[in-house]
Structure 1
């Protein structure tokens, strides 16, 4: 059959029975851990303290999740994966930590004469190791079973942040609930209450503490995803985990360094590290958007994308505007189609970027994955293409020499996007030309170099 008349087909989807079973097991496991940890916390805080702690602990959760979601918006993660990370931190990791810390503290207290030594040693030496290892388990599971979702440090940054935010949420319920119970017993007023002081320290001054520690582990896993040598794939996550444990231990020991110890560690360590990671988050986001723009240019030249879409896909304001434009004309289904188109385009760009910079060893299934993403883009292009092209014009992303009133066909066309006019429908059964395979030290097999099925 001639290539120009081949029908548009999606890649064959292989049944994923094993993946469905793993998902079911994880959901059941997290549900059981959630019920167990909530009951343990309620027993320690009492029912009134539990609900007060729950309400106060919820307050910093939304801003933290929004911040980490912002970092990953250049190539958004599936909500199911982020929900797993948050659930693991809030349920499984918290349950492991509370049981292991209690056992270790009791064992140390039985082996020493002074119980205060057990609390101090448990806080500085035991808790950081147990808690950071429990949180790192979520990243390890994603790294092993969803390696495709680990495309670089940005993914480790986001997933670590969601996991640690879930852990801090459960831990804050315990601390705030106990503080409220203490205030009830002592009849303390609101202004000088332990609950208010605890919330100020944990919810206002340092809500980023646990995420800051675990992000070090996430960056280690993200760097390992880009490594070719096995020693680096193993050593980099361990190095990140060791850094997380060290920061956690230093933070926990601040209360034992005298009256000013907390403020010294907070001002000299936590704030600078937080500033460094904030800068790193912005840099990672900008770097990803530059990669999206650079890699998608090859697909635009081949006709898979409208050239005006490329700057729009590399701009977060333009992406948001395109979704709004689609919703205004086609309703929520059109907005959803544009959002999926944007996510698939970003995934395609990063896939090609990894293959180009890392070679065949990094992306052994590049051809199949590229074909899958291109077909998904092709199916939604009639809806998403005009919206993105118009957003590029409205955001002034096109260079002055770019003619927005050019012809509607051809690989250099932008279409009539000014004044509400958009490119016409995509011809069915006719596919764009081939895309050159990305090259590094050797060729990477590309689905588009051999033509679609």
Structure 2
């Protein structure tokens, strides 16, 4: 089917006051000819890659990965329980759980513009808590014992292990999760925010397991010496690891995530840049991690607080600002890329301004939910996600970062938008007008004709 012309552009439901789809200007038509594909019809099958061999199928890979993570989880839990004892393990588990929901909520909030699938984030958390923690505890223990045997100086071995060995091993183990998602879930890994979120979930899982170990050991020490209350080792450990620095591990690993995110934005022909940026981020993560560990090992308690106040807090603030600024930049990308589709007749004129505002997107979902029901609100949410992916797809194509499947991927996204446009178009138009993003006649609440979601 050929590109829709002004006479054959898709039309909204027949209402006298609702917004209409515009004719395609000649200049925009020429611009879109090499990007837009045929109008997807209802019932048209989704684009799917060619069938892969059995051992390369997604189901087989997912099954193997889940099994390996489950085995790693059982082994790491057994090791931690052996070191801390049953009571120490339970106390450490309860206290280590406290910062996890807050950190996961914060990283998920950053990902509101184009939310990544939960399966990727749960994999990242599980990898950090199970696989990365298991690698770290085995490699760190082996390296420290080997250094102690070689140097006959256990104290120096512990310091060297914490300052040099641990940062290299732990950051490399956590970076493996980001690399796997970058390679095998490339469609969901589109920029810096995705790198930050995946890295944050991975590091949160790793810190969760590590905190169980430290808090459980601290509780065991208190049981041996008979201390309790605020003067206990458990209270001091809880204050340092849970209250003062719950963001420490996420801060380290986010540097690696930023490197992968910048590599995702780089043009495909920039091979050196796509390899060097993740490696640079990993090296920075190791360096900051080594500084953090060495501040207490080499300079004592006051050195720890000096590094915390002079470096960690400003670095955390800077990375938080960078993540928020990047999210705002994503919204600007939507406002710049989607008008071309609106000019070609795929979207209503009010949709790009509404989709580039988080407030308008929320209002559109609420309007659809009130007017048509919960299913319509979910459909608008999906429409917003697909439209955002379409904008980023076009942006990456302009940067030369897209692969040969651009046309198929664009076709798939347009198909999903086409299926949901009957309720999403008027909802987003209402939100754009209500938030002042555009000026247009207010739509009737029953715009769009009969409720397609009514049972």
Q: Same fold (TM over 0.5)?
A: yes
Q: In the TM superposition, what is the alpha-carbon distance from 1:426 to its structure 2 partner? A: 12
Instruction: State the TM-score, normalized to the length of structure 1.
Output: 0.86
Unaligned runs of 5+ in 2: 11-38
Match in the other structure for 1:157? 196
Q: Give the conservation status (yes or no) of the 8 Å contact 1:132–1:214.
A: yes
- 1:19–1:331 distance in 2 versus 1, CA, 3 Å: same
Query: Cα deviations across residues 127-186 of structure 1 (Å, max 9, x unaligned)?
Result: 000000000001111122122222111111111111111111111111111111111222
Residue from 21, 26, 50 that aligns with 2:65:
26
- Structure-1 separation of matches of 2:339 and 2:47: 27
The higher relative CO (CA closer than 8 Å, separation ≥ 6) is in 2
Q: Is 1:319 aligned to 2:358, yes or no?
A: no
In the alignment of these two chains, the number of paired residues is 410
- Structure-1 separation of matches of 2:348 and 2:78: 55
Match in the other structure for 1:404? 441
- Structure-2 separation of matches of 1:335 and 1:272: 40
Q: In the TM superposition, what is the alpha-carbon distance from 1:396 to its structure 2 partner? A: 2.7
- Structure-1 separation of matches of 2:403 and 2:303: 48
Q: Is 1:252 aligned to 2:293, yes or no?
A: yes
Match in the other structure for 1:287? 329
Q: Give the conservation status (yes or no) of the 8 Å contact 1:226–1:362.
A: no
Q: Is 1:175 aligned to 2:217, yes or no?
A: no
- Structure-2 separation of matches of 1:161 and 1:425: 44
Match in the other structure for 2:45? 10
Q: Give the conservation status (yes or no) of the 8 Å contact 1:61–1:165.
A: yes
Query: Cα deviations across residues 214-265 of structure 1 (Å, max 9, x unaligned)?
Result: 0110111111112231111111111100000000000000112134101110
Q: In the TM superposition, what is the alpha-carbon distance from 1:340 to its structure 2 partner? A: 1.3
Q: Give the conservation status (yes or no) of the 8 Å contact 2:73–2:131.
A: yes
- Structure-1 separation of matches of 2:365 and 2:425: 11
CA-based RMSD of the aligned residues comes to 2.0
Q: Give the conservation status (yes or no) of the 8 Å contact 2:376–2:423.
A: yes
- Structure-1 separation of matches of 2:87 and 2:221: 12
Residue from 407, 410, 427 that aligns with 1:387:
427
- Structure-2 separation of matches of 1:175 and 1:330: 52
- Structure-1 separation of matches of 2:451 and 2:419: 9
Residue from 118, 122, 146 that aligns with 2:157:
118
- Structure-2 separation of matches of 1:334 and 1:170: 40
Q: Give the conservation status (yes or no) of the 8 Å contact 2:121–2:201.
A: yes
Q: In the TM superposition, what is the alpha-carbon distance from 1:335 to its structure 2 partner? A: 2.4
Matches within 5 A, 1:32-51: 32-51=71-90
Unaligned runs of 5+ in 1: 406-415, 428-453
Match in the other structure for 1:211? 250
Instruction: State the TM-score, normalized to the length of structure 2.
Output: 0.86
Residue from 63, 73, 95 that aligns with 1:56:
95
Match in the other structure for 1:412? none
Q: Which moves more between the two structures, 72-81 or 333-342?
A: 333-342
Q: In the TM superposition, what is the alpha-carbon distance from 1:187 to its structure 2 partner? A: 1.9
- Secondary structure, aligned partner of 2:229: coil
Residue from 227, 236, 239 that aligns with 2:277:
236
Q: Give the conservation status (yes or no) of the 8 Å contact 2:47–2:412.
A: no
